[in-house]
Amino acid sequence: MARKRTERRHLLGLIARSFYLQTAWNYEFLQALGFAYVMSSVGRRVASGGRATREFLERHTGLFNTNPVLASYIIGGTARLEERHSRGETSGAEIVALKSALAVPLAAVGDRFFWAGLRPLSGLLGILAAGWLGAGGALVLLAVYNVFHLYYRVKGVLRGYALGAGLVSEISRLRLPRLTVHVGWIGAFALGVLMVTAVHGWQAAWKREAVFVLPSVALAAGFLPQFLRTRVTEVALALGALGLLLTAGGLLG
């Protein structure tokens, strides 16, 4: 009973630390320091100082990068393998191999779902909600994103710890690719609602021409070449400068 409680406390500690995986993100070692920080609570238990601690830190300060949410699977799995390593049941090389074997597939799945799907979707739903609820839109954004975010953070550490090296086969059973497709559908649906709402808003507040102007600009912008789409801040700034030119016109005239 006491052992179970201690284990639960350690896992909670790992989950809490996993939120700081990217704190020291840098161009050379990527998430390495963050990973070492997350694992250092495990290190205190399994590495008894001196050479063992140094080897432990060397294993976890090497280049590492994956999706920060799904990294929780690797964190849980690595913690389990480190415990086995301290009992002499597995080698250090196996731990490093698990980390590098899972980092790329988890990054591919996680980035598509969390960054390219869920993040824009939660923003879109937040914007729609802001039309009705005002400041409540921010709460909708936070709720939609964090239901999935927190679920996978917690589940990842727990499943990873339960499965250890068996985690590799678990990854292929993740439901996230299917969820990504659903997120795309919901996003397209919500986009349709937003388009009508925005046009109606402008029409009511300003001019009927908004019916044509807004969708035309949106479609043109939506199909801009890649190099311009990645510079949307600069394009918006140029539009803003146009507004300033109008001011200059007002000052001169």
Partner 1 sequence: MLREILVLCFAAGVCALDTTAAWQLMLSQPLVSGTIAGFIVGSPETGVFVGVLLQLLWSGSMPLGSRPMPDAPVGTATGVWFAAALVETGGVSLSFSNLAGLLVALCVALAGRSTIVWERELNCRLMRRLRMRLSSGRNVNVELTQALSMTMAFFRGFLLCVLAVGVLSVLVPVLGGAGGVVGRDYKLVLLLVQGLGIGVLVSVFARGVRGRLPAFAGGVALALLIRNLAG
- To partner 1, the closest distance from the beta carbon of 1 in angstroms equals 30
According to CB under 8 A, which residues from 209 to 228 bind partner 1?
Answer: 210, 213-224
- Please tell me the distance from the alpha carbon of residue 152 to that of residue 130, in angstroms, as a whole number: 27
- To partner 1, the closest distance from the beta carbon of 169 in angstroms equals 27
Structure tokens at 119: 């993040």
Residue 58, CA distances (Å) to 26, 54, 181 in order = 17, 6, 39
Q: Which is nearer to partner 1, 68 or 164 (CB)?
A: 68
| Residue partners of 247: CB distance under 8 A and separation at least 6 | none
According to CB under 8 A, which residues from 16 to 45 bind partner 1?
Answer: 19-20, 22-29, 32-34, 36-37, 40
According to CB under 8 A, which residues from 103 to 142 bind partner 1?
Answer: 111, 115-116, 119-120, 122-124, 126-127, 130, 134-135, 137-138, 141-142
According to CB under 8 A, which residues from 50 to 69 bind partner 1?
Answer: 54, 57-58, 61, 65, 68-69
Count CA atoms closer than 13 A to 41's CA, side-chain side.
Answer: 19
Determine the Cα angle at 171 with ends 167 and 174, to 5°.
135
Determine the Cα angle at 136 with ends 147 and 138, to 5°.
55
Q: Which is nearer to partner 1, 50 or 88 (CB)?
A: 50
- To partner 1, the closest distance from the beta carbon of 130 in angstroms equals 5
